[in-house]
Structure formats: structure tokens, C-alpha cells
Amino acid sequence: MNAAAPVVTLDGPSGAGKGTVSRAVAQKLGWHYLDSGAIYRALAVDLMHRGLESRNEPAVVDAAGRMDLEFVFNPGFSVMLSGKDISSSIQSEACGNQASRLAAMPGVRKALLEKQRGFRKPPGLVADGRDMGTVVFPDARFKFFLTASPQIRAERRVKQLKEKGMNVNLDKIITELLERDQRDENREAAPLRQADGAIFIDSSEMTIDQVVERVTHAVRGH
């Protein structure tokens, strides 16, 4: 039953606009939404709350398997860890960078695989991340690879964080973004790469609405 539900995957580097685009596409289609990055980010928060060393790989893998995580749509999007709303704490760059380090651990990815596949339910799922089309949902009906130039991605990220009242520096964001790209693309386990058959979209010169239109059109057109 679950396996029959259609999936749209959007993979790409950080700051490419995948989250905003995926949420809008899911809303337009009336489908479920999986923010897989939020799962890795929540793990970073979980370890911090429990005072666990991120270098202790067996403990991290164990924590990943036990995490009590829930996504709530109300109609905004909240991430609940053990019943507590952690939506704001997972948005920081520090949390994203730590998530990227944890995500390089093969045991962690394995522990989170079924959790992610559990989001696949009728009428369909829009999933955003790094390995949605390559590893988690290789049989997805529609695959997209969304990217933009590092400068544009960093500028968008700065704007987004400033709107949330966070104090950020563009140069630092670019440096960290490139470091994160390096780590996500070069790790052994499920590295970020364009899935076979994925549609490539460079959003550097596009508005979010144009990207949403492009993705929804491709999905509805079939």
C-alpha cells in the first residue's frame, strides 16, 4: 500500500531553496512532506540535550534509532522532539553543520532510513534532502536536483536568517556552506549527487515561484 504512493524527490546542496519549494509543491499537490534534513538536525539537538559526545559513534547511532520525533503541520511546520517544539533551534547554521557531520556516519543513515520511508503515504510524498532520489526513494516517480551558485545560496540563507532575527555574516556563511557542500558530496555513505533521471534545475536566476511552477508542472503533466 505504502509502496504504491508516488514520491517526488528534491535533492541538492544547502541553501538551494529545496525546503521552501518542497513545502509549496506539497501544498499545491495536497501531498505529504518530508524534510529529511530536519531529522539530522533534530539528532544534533537530541545529542546536545542529552550531553552525548558526537564523536561517540555507537551512542549517536543508538540515539538516532530511539529518537522520538514528530513533524506537526498546523498549518505551519513544527518539529517536535520528545514532545518539545525544537523548530527554532534546528534552524541555526551551527545545527546544520553539526547535522552534516552526523549525517556522514553510515550507522546513523541506516538507523534513520525506515523512519524516512515511513513518510510515504497516499496520496503522495514530496521529500527534500541529499539522498532522497538516490537512496531513500530510488523508485520515486519524479526526481529533481535543485541547485544555485554558492554566492546566491549564501545570500538567500543570510536573508532567511536575518528575517528570523538571527545575526549573520555573509563571508562566514559562504565559507561554512562550501565546507558543508564538500562534506555532503564527498562522504562515503549516500553522498549528495544527482540521481539518475533527475531533472536538473539551477535556480540562481529563478524566483521560488518559478521553481515551484516548474516542479508542479512536471508532476502534473504526467
Residues at the contact surface with ligand DC, assessed by CB under 6 A: 14, 36-37, 40-41, 96, 99-100, 103, 129-132, 180, 184
Q: How far apart are CA 96 and CA 145, in angstroms?
A: 20
Cβ proximity to ligand DC: between 18 and 30 the closer is 18
DSSP calls for 137-167:
-TT-SEEEEEE--HHHHHHHHHHHHHHTT--
Question: Cβ distance 36 to 90 under 8 Å?
Answer: no
Residue-wise over 76-105: b if at least 16 C-beta within 10 A, else e? Answer: eeebebeeeebbebbbbbebbbbbbbbbbb
Tell me whether strands 199-202 and 142-147 are parallel, antiparallel or unpaired: parallel
Cβ proximity to ligand DC: between 30 and 40 the closer is 40
Give min distance, CB of 63 to ligand DC, in A. 15
DSSP calls for 113-144:
HHHHHTT--TT-EEEEESSIIIII-TT-SEEE
Q: How far apart are CA 18 and CA 35, in angstroms?
A: 9
Cβ proximity to ligand DC: between 130 and 143 the closer is 130
Cβ proximity to ligand DC: between 30 and 76 the closer is 76
Cβ proximity to ligand DC: between 59 and 135 the closer is 135
Give min distance, CB of 99 to ligand DC, in A. 4
Give min distance, CB of 152 to ligand DC, in A. 16
Give min distance, CB of 74 to ligand DC, in A. 20
Give min distance, CB of 92 to ligand DC, in A. 11
> Which residue number places its CB atom closest to ligand DC?
37
